[in-house]
């Protein structure tokens, strides 16, 4: 009995440490080396179980340096891109954040411990439902998932301190700029064939500034007319 318990216990510990050591390696070898330095962001990436957000058949590759398919023709972003976008948003624990493109729910899980509340919208129902149950199962309490078109933002919950888009519209949706708080910041990929990650800032007086920060490749933001 005692031996069985010890064996089970060491199996559980081994499982745990195997993904955690993969996550630490991922942060050291893919993220710090590319220049991400925010300690809170690095800590969240080391402690978020990315393998729980990908289909079980490819869980072994969850911490690899690449995007991965999550079904419905969609992908979970490369870990470095998640880290870069999270760092650039400069969030704090009072922030209300909107994400467009829940996908697997991983980016929302990474945002969760850094802010007060995360609202995330996904247009594909099966993905929205799956992300919602993954996040609930793992105990993320401050993330609200909604199934729908996020192109027009989430007016009922606006304004937001931060907005993150993880699907690329051809142009920045004006509704998203409107739903940004004065002093707020948004990061999203923009473009069709060529995409750039763009940071949009709204000053306290309401002036908008835009800056291109990185060439990227994301799935398109669907916008049914
Ligand atoms: N952030 C995700 C990855 C997103 S992939 C993660 O961490 O896994 C981009 C997602 O945006 C896809 O799931 C796609 O279905 C969704 N999407 C595309 N257009 C959308 C729209 N208009 N509104 C909401 N979601 C959209």
pLDDT digits (tens, 9 = 90+) for 46-55: 999 999 999 9
Q: What was the pLDDT predicted at 80?
A: 98
Burial (Cβ within 10 Å: 0-12, 13-18, ≥19) of residue 17: exposed
The answer to whether residue 165 scores a pLDDT higher than 70 is: yes
Res. 199: pLDDT tops 80? yes
Closest CA to 138 of 19, 55, 49: 49
Is 77 assigned a catalytic role? Answer: yes
150 in Cβ contact with 100 (< 8 Å): yes
Average pLDDT, whole number, for the chain? 94
What's the whole-model pTM score? 0.93
| % pLDDT > 70, the chain | 92
Domain spans, the chain: 2-216
Report the pLDDT value the prediction gives residue 72, as an integer from 0 to 100: 92
Q: Give the pLDDT band (50/70/90) at residue 224.
A: confident
Closest residue by Cα to atom 10, ligand 1, is 101
Q: How do residues 96-143 score in pLDDT, each as one tens digit?
A: 999 999 999 999 999 999 999 999 999 999 999 999 999 999 999 999
**Two tokens, residue 22:** 């993969």
Spell out the residues 6+ positions from residue 88 whose beta carbon is closer than 8 angstroms to its own: 187, 199, 213
pLDDT tens, position by position, 11-22: 555 555 799 999
CATH entry 3.40.50.2300 includes domain 2-216: no
Query: Which atom of ligand 1 is the closest one to the Cα of 127?
Result: 13
Catalytic residue among 10, 77, 205, 209: 77
- Pocket residues for ligand 1 (CB within 6 Å)? 74-77, 100-101, 103-104, 106-107, 121-124, 127, 149-151, 166-167, 219, 221-223
Per residue in 149-163, pLDDT (tens digit) is 999 999 999 999 999
Atom of ligand 1 lying closest to residue 124 CA: 15
Q: Tell me, what's the pLDDT at 6?
A: 55
Instruction: For residues 1-30, give the mean pLDDT.
Output: 74
Q: Identify the residue whose C-alpha is closest to ligand 1 atom 17.
A: 101
If one residue of 48, 51, 80, 103 were mutated to test the ligand 1 pocket, choosing by the most ligand atoms within 8 A of its CB, it would be 103
Alpha-carbon distances of 148 from 54, 76, 120, 161, rounded to whole Å: 21, 19, 10, 21
Render 27-56 in DSSP notation, one character per residue: IIIIIITTT---HHHHHHHHHS-GGGGS-G
């Amino acid at each position: 009995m005692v031996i069985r318990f010890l064996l089970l216990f060491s199996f559980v510990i081994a499982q745990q440490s195997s993904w955690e050591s993969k996550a630490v390696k991922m942060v050291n070898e893919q993220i710090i080396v590319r220049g991400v330095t925010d300690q809170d962001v690095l800590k969240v990436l080391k402690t978020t179980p990315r393998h729980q957000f990908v289909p079980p058949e490819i869980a072994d590759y969850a911490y690899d340096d690449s995007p991965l398919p999550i079904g419905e023709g969609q992908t979970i972003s490369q870990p470095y891109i998640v880290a870069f976008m999270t760092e650039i948003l400069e969030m704090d624990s009072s922030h209300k954040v909107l994400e467009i493109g829940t996908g697997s729910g991983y980016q929302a899980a990474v945002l969760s411990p850094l802010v007060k509340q995360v609202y995330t919208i996904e247009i594909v129902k099966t993905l929205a439902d799956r992300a919602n149950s993954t996040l609930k199962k793992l105990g993320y309490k401050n993330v609200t998932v909604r199934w729908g078109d996020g192109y027009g933002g989430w007016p009922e919950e606006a304004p937001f301190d931060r907005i993150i888009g993880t699907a690329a519209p051809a142009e920045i949706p004006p509704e998203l700029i409107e739903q940004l708080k004065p002093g707020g910041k948004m990061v999203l990929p923009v473009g069709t064939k060529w995409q750039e990650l763009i940071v949009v800032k709204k000053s306290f007086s309401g002036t908008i500034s835009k800056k291109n920060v990185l060439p990227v490749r994301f799935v398109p933001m669907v916008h049914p007319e």
